[in-house]
Structure 1
């Protein structure tokens, strides 16, 4: 799967050949990513990245969503994808992260917008959710810019190394999507 967004930005399903670049990006942003992502400490070896890519390929093969690399000017800048797809209820949730050096370029807003559009137009889903840490201002700005509604606050939703963090839940329905 390949989704071109503009001249600088493309979403591409991860393949094993992407493992070295994805590992280098993760490793180079490890301290930065660790603030909000609980899986960072489990990715110290390139084999972990290869296993993640295999998981992503299995997810896509089972028609349960997909993960893409975000390619900015030919370099991998982060990842975005659907956690899973609930086909019976026509909904999904989007997860994303961006390497520290790629922040502030509008990359994630454009990428997320494209996946929302794909969910509604190509997959015929009715609902998309995004959850993020309450204090993660950069992450929560994305659904707010794209017209999602804040629908909830989940207390102690995720264990982050040595403490729990609360999550905000954002939702968007197909009928509310303006593109």
Structure 2
């Protein structure tokens, strides 16, 4: 899957781009650490990031994880990530997570990208449901979800432990096909 729009390209994460992936994560580490804790913990150094990319390769082959990267075509820099995880092929359904580099927030890039990825997933894998989880304080993430047809299904109390050790409630948003 390669989708180009405006000056951006959405493509599966090329695990050979570990250095660019590390830079994307490192530039946004502080704002991502609470809700992308798995990715953050596995990309502390460039060496860690290359090892993580190697592990991702096998997860993709096993159809257990699908990471899509957003690239700025003018700068050749990675500026966002949309990942598909917790896949249940029996239904089929999956959880979707996303973030955009701080320099691109509020420009609609992540909302458009997410829409393209959702369309691809529904046509290619025939998912019956996608869900995303968000802390109620993450207004931007909630707005992106709603723009892409997700609706609030409920709040799960004390559902997630942040990297700082805080146990927080998460709002669950779903989209059915």
TM-score, normalised with respect to structure 2: 0.88
TM-score, normalised with respect to structure 1: 0.88
Unaligned runs of 5+ residues in structure 1 are: 175-179
Q: Secondary structure at the match of 1:29?
A: helix
Deviations along 1:95-140, one digit per CA (max 9) or x if unpaired, are 1122211212211111211121112111111111111112111111
Match of 1:118 in 2: 120
1:170 aligned to 2:173?
Answer: yes
Counterparts of 1:37 and 1:87, CA distance in 2: 23
Moved over 4 A (4+): none
1:50 aligned to 2:53?
Answer: no
Match of 2:61 in 1: 61
Cα offset, 1:42, TM superposition: 4.8
> RMSD value over aligned CA atoms?
1.7
Match of 2:87 in 1: 85
Match of 2:143 in 1: 141
Counterparts of 2:35 and 2:61, CA distance in 1: 29
Match of 1:95 in 2: 97
Unaligned runs of 5+ residues in structure 2 are: none
Is 1:5–1:111's contact at 8 Å kept on the other side of the alignment?
no
